[in-house]
A and B are shown apart, each in its own frame.
Chain A
Amino acid sequence: MSVQTTDYTASEIRSPVSFVANRVFIYGALVFWAFICLFPIYWTITTSFKTAVDVTQGHLIPFVDFQPDWKGWRSLGLSPDSLFQTSTVREEFLKRFMNSVITSVGASSLAIIIGSLAAYGLTRYRYHFAWFKNEDISFFFLSQLILPPVVLALPFLVLYREVGLLDTRVGLILLYTLMVLPIVIWIMRDQFNSIPVELEEAALVDGLTIWGAFFRIVMPIALPGMVAAFILAMVLCWNEYFFAALLTSTDAKTIPVMVASQTGSQGINWWSMAALATAAITPLAVIGIALERYLIMGMTAGAVK
């Protein structure tokens, strides 16, 4: 973790009282909001180790208020003692987990490939298909961002049934690709715009074809941007619920659908729900901590000029 060098200005040093008050306020606010962000996560993780009594009495601190127990994780088949026994719940969970991984990685990859190509073409060449120019084509892609899922959901339900893609991972991958494509194009266009054209011109003079120049010169430079777009797309696909809830039933169900299907039932098993929620959010929490730089890069692309 990098420690910021703090260079205080002259006015701040001149009046120490207001300076201290200022510091107290800033750190107080920071800690307060950090608490708001972290407490629900803390609550969920600890609840997965609670028994029924601990939940209903609102115990908060493990080892002080209550004795942690593997109960929640055992019901998922993921606790140390049940890990090597057969468990139908665990199989179900792992299947959903794999579905989530495959659909989100598949959709993000597909979107990165076709999105980067399109973004590159749009930043470097002039197109006109009939009366559509570059600006119109860009607008066409970006305007897909406005399209709410609910508009496509019902037609796709019918179409997927006709083409036999209902409740398949391929079907979900195609829809998720459509969902993240505008964002990928937006980020990559910004990336390619920041790469000087002279590099490719030099490559072309040296005898590369335009596709050769793209793969050997431009792609390596744009790689951080592609990683950023990929991760942002991953996050959106992993968390997607609406399409998955409507278009999958048994085979292709993803983690969010599994989580949601447990919440409706009466007499919730607090510990197992908490364990499930923890398992559902862990992969992205890890990504968020490890690759935060890329996420921020993706989110701020094109925002600041």
Chain B
Amino acid sequence: MLVEAFVLPKADLDGFAAKLKAGYELIGPVAKGPEFVFAPIDSAADLRLDYDTTILPPHKKYLAPPKETLFGFSGPAAKTGEPAPAGKQVLFGVHACDINGMLSLDKVFLGTYPDPYYKARRENTVIVGLNCTEPCANGFCSSFNTGPGMDTGFDLSLTDLGDKYLVCVGSDAGKALTAGLAPATDADRIAKSKALRSAQEKIKRHIDTDNLGEFLHQNVENPVWSDLKERCLACGSCTNVCPTCFCFAVKDQVDLTLAAGERPRDWDSCQYLEFSRVAADHVFRPDRAARIKQRLYHKLTYFAQQFDGSPGCVGCGRCATYCVAAIDPVQVVADLRDNPGAESAVKLYTPPAKKVTPETNPWEPLPAKILGIKQQNYDNKTYTFAFTDPAVQEKYTYDNGVFNEISIFGIGEVPISISSCADVKGSFDHTIRAVGNVTNALDKLQVGDIVGIRGPYGFGWPVEEMKGKNVLVVVGGVGLAPLLGTIKHIANRRDEYGALEILVGARSPKELLFTDEYEELRKIPNSRLLLTVDNTAGLEWGHNIGVVTTLFDKMSSKPDNTIMITCGPDIMMRFAVRGLLGRGWSPEQIYVSLERRMSCGIKKCGNCQIGPIFVCQDGPVFKLADIQGLPEAAL
């Protein structure tokens, strides 16, 4: 069907802008020194529709602003509820690249766990697009079919036809703004097509997108990356100016009463060392080359893998324009194509299709009371919680192996796995080591104190798939916490599962968790519990000495009809997985629980990514076969 179209003489632009201003805040491109930015404007005279590009992408600046308060709090209670209503605004003159960037951000913010703050702004924003008849110098939008013209994502689109604009209608809201405009003629439509074809031909920069995802997965070790490491300044400008970069950091602010404050989010960057930092100063992605790779892979393939094929790069060229070291994705891909690594069979990642749409604000922690505190060992305690609202607690269910976000208002949130068994109703447990700011604050709390909790998040252990099979549980240190619930789940349904064998390893006997439950575990019919420590720390020890994989020689479990589940430090799981694969186990029967900085838990903040994986929502429990061979998933 022919798109409805009108003409707007350039002489009438001021009147058109004045009409928009009557109902909306009018935001458009204005000059800032030699460059351009989107800003509120008073009249069409301020508009610079001849702009090439802007420093920040307009949709990101006005829909997911650099700093945004999620909610305020006072004492242990959050003040949340619905976000404040967003004002009505028009983004006027948005280029095709940024409109496509916005459509990609929609997938992030309006997908699973829709973000109410973004949603409110998005619903109150009218997009007036501007087709690029004069392409910018650094853009390569045609490579991704995200420019120079736009097909979708706008309420109205403008095309410069000399002394007038062709105005195409993209939505009912857009249609309502065309009252009084003369309909376009066939000649006008043909002029638009010609202008855009000519613009397309003027674009000189291209990325070879042929099988780009597979090609990049084959070139993880290409020497191009170590060369880029020498050039990259790790300044993060590329991510700030990127129309599809969405990552942010959340850090509580308090006033001088120290009790009241707010929880804001600020744009973050995967180029920073601290992006993947967790408590005890552990950094998951310390190598600068790995960080550059993460950004470019995320732009050029991971984003599409994560969000239904939406482009992670829309070819706006901003990252190349603003890079002090002139790192340019067009050149990087060309360099890789010139010296490709060996071709090999690779698979891209397909995240589990699961969309959660909670009835309440997903950022809102609900008050939960500490019902009990039990010292586990010298540095771990198990806390028993229940939501203070009995109706909330009644409805609260979880799969064994998943996690909650625990808030201490004024300090922050931490993701902690649930260590109780889902069969227990009325309360749930978290076993926690005091190691960072939040867990240290938690350590000072007493029975009866209130914290904020939201969750549960992610996928747990495959208790359905394990039915009728033998189960081997391999535990490293505190890794027993997310596994204990599943062990009890099996014990509670003993006839539904085959033999159960549990291998527990720790650095020393002092590090072992849940030791007072070992007697109960040993009583589970058709089960075995094997213990080992790296060293005895001078304590009496009647069990094995050595890392947990040394128990593989003593265990009864065989690969046939058995599922192995494991949780522990990355290095321990790596050796455990390799040990089993070497003994004839298949990646289809091995499940691992991964840990990264799961700062938000709802696939928004981006901190927990391992290659194309979001640990928080795609995991934390993964089947090895699903992630084996993916970049960064070195198991």
Asked if chains A and B come from one complex, the reply is no
The chain A residues found within 8 Å of chain B, CB to CB, are none
The chain B residues found within 8 Å of chain A, CB to CB, are none
